[in-house]
Amino acid sequence: MPREPLPISTRLETLSVLTADGQLDRALEPAVPHADLRRLYKTMLAARRLDERCLMLQRQGRMGTYGPSKGQEAASLGVAYALERDDWFVPTFRELAGLLWRGWPMHTWMLYWGGHEAGNAVPPGLNDLPICVPIASQCQYGMGIAWGCKLRGGGRVCVAFCGDGGTSEGDFHEALNFAGVYNLPLVMVVQNNHWAISIPRSCQTRAATIAQKAVAYGIDGLQVDGNDLLAVIAATREAVDKARTGGGPTLIEAVTYRLSMHTTADDPKKYRTDAEVREWEPRDPLPRFRAYLQKKKLLDAKIEQVIEEEITAELEAAVRQYEQQTVDATEFLRHVFAEPTPELRAQLAELEAHLAARRPARPPAPVS
């Protein structure tokens, strides 16, 4: 028998709309109202400023270990913008800009990284899941939610995020396989930031792209310039519209770069070169989108100053609110199960006894 090419019909494409210096491919430009473009810029800038502030707070000992989102703002923001409010948004821990767009207050993000349980509380009215650190576990949550959306009807779609490192986890494959088999309204967005802590993307998979993994699940795969907000919006709209109308799941690979460290517990100089970072800096999504808006005459120095001032004021208020949060060192044990297990109850009692022993029995005498 002659050898024949396999009948694979999966569509695989790569998409970018803006060049690094903000030049536009007009034919691909998604329709976005001018007021939204300005709001998107403000949100992207707010995410950058909040990220910078969290890093400072951590360095000053005022916040726990922090995982920066710097350089990845466009990937989650474009996705969030392309969703309806009632759609589901299932993040990992680098979707700061998307969460701000969805309506998460700045101080909730701070509370999360400050180790407060209140940072896990999804703001009322949002179909979002809390920030998720166990790698790729959120793929399964997203798939389950997408299944629920399908069973309930009503046209809701679920977007779940994952990192390039997360694609090596079984959860990622199980979620996409199930979503493909049951034709679920799931959009899986992989933020390929080229690193999983110190493991480069080239060691994560032998596949040339992450998008092509879609072939194995019989679903569409789309690679998009994840530092190009317009491309992310266009790609997500396409995938979300398809999911909403019964067309099934899509795997989107958003190609981006982690410009900062993995977390504040990490020193990337030990495993990647400065030259690599410098190579990516011109593709930073923030100045790219800013250049696009300037060319469209939607941003000038005065507007930018107003935006910066508004963000600074919001940040100051958020830091105050964050630092006013009462500290309860036992709360992490109270939120594991609705009904704590005997082991948890014993651990809680031990911790409470330990804290009580460290507390001064009575207030210290005033110094005369």
Ligand X SMILES: Cc1ncc(C[n+]2csc(CCOP(=O)(O)OP(=O)(O)O)c2C)c(N)n1
Among 108-116, 192-200, 222-230, 331-339, the segment contacting ligand X (CB under 6 A): 192-200
Q: Which of 271, 335, 345, 354 is an active site residue?
A: 271
- Exposed e or buried b for every residue in 53-87, given b needs 16+ CB within 10 A? bbbebbeeeebbebbbbbbbbbbbbbbbbbbeeeb
Asked if 164 interacts with ligand X (CB under 6 A), we say: yes
Is 14 or 168 the residue whose CB approaches Mg ion more closely? 168
Q: How far is the CB of 194 from ligand X (least distance, A)?
A: 8
Angstrom distance (rounded) from CA 24 to CA 16 = 9
Count of CA atoms in the C-beta half-sphere (13 A) of 265:
7
| Closest residue to bound ligand X by CB | 163
The residue from 166, 185, 248, 249 that contacts ligand X (CB under 6 A) is 166
Q: Which of 102, 258, 283, 290 is catalytic?
A: 258
Q: Which is nearer to ligand X, 78 or 248 (CB)?
A: 78
Binding at 133: pick from ligand X, Mg ion, none (beta carbon under 5-8 Å per type) = ligand X
Nearest residue (CB) to ligand X, 93 versus 322: 93
Q: Which is nearer to ligand X, 16 or 92 (CB)?
A: 92
- State how far the Cα of 251 lies from the Cα of 187, in Å rounded to an integer: 6
Question: Is residue 193 part of the contact set for ligand X (CB under 6 A)?
Answer: yes
Quote the distance between the C-alpha of residue 316 and its chain's center.
Answer: 23
d(CA 265, CA 113): 13
Minimum distance from CB of 366 to ligand X (Å)?
Answer: 48
Amino acid (1-letter code) at residue 105: P
The answer to the question of residue 228 lying near ligand X (CB under 6 A) is no
Alpha-helix runs per DSSP H in the chain: 34-59, 73-82, 96-102, 106-113, 137-152, 170-181, 201-204, 214-217, 229-244, 274-280, 285-295, 301-324, 331-334, 342-358
Cα 252 to Cα 242: distance, rounded to the nearest angstrom: 13
The nearest distance, CB 264 to ligand X, in angstroms, is 13
Using CB under 6 A, which of 63, 135, 149, 222 touches ligand X? Answer: 135
Are 56 and 113 spatial neighbours (Cβ–Cβ below 8 Å)? no
User: Whose CA is closest to 44, among 85, 83, 80?
Assistant: 80
Chain residues that interact with Mg ion, rule: CB under 5 A: 163-165, 193, 196
Residue 278 appears among annotated catalytic residues: no
Task: Choose among Mg ion, ligand X, none what residue 253 binds, the Cβ cut-off being 5 to 8 Å by kind.
Answer: none
Instruction: Pick the closer one to ligand X by CB: 258 or 290.
Output: 258
- 76 touches ligand X (CB under 6 A): no
What angle do the packed helices 137-152 and 170-181 form, to 10 degrees? Answer: 20
By CB under 6 A, tell whether 264 contacts ligand X: no
Of 165 and 221, which has the nearer Cβ to ligand X?
165
Q: How far apart are CA 250 and CA 217, in angstroms?
A: 10
Does 262 sit near ligand X (CB under 6 A)? yes
Residue 118 CA to residue 290 CA, distance in Å, equals 34
Contact call for residues 35 and 61 (beta carbons, < 8 A): no
Identified binder of ligand X from the candidate list 24, 32, 118, 197, rule CB under 6 A: 197
Catalytic residue among 94, 102, 194, 262: 262
CB of 195 to Mg ion, least distance (A): 5
Which partner from the list ligand X, Mg ion, none does 68 bind, CB cut-off 5 to 8 Å by kind?
none
Question: Candidates 127-135, 177-185, 272-280, 299-307 — which segment interacts with ligand X by CB under 6 A?
Answer: 127-135
Point out which residues pair with 15 in neighbouring strands.
224
Could you confirm whether 258 is annotated as catalytic?
Answer: yes
- Assess contact for 254 and 162: CB atoms under 8 A: no
Alpha carbon 9 to chain centroid, angstroms: 30
* Catalytic annotation present for 335: no
CB nearer to ligand X: pick between 53 and 262:
262
Residues lying near ligand X in the complex (CB under 6 A): 94, 133-135, 163-166, 193, 195-197, 258, 262
Residues catalogued as catalytic: 258, 262, 271
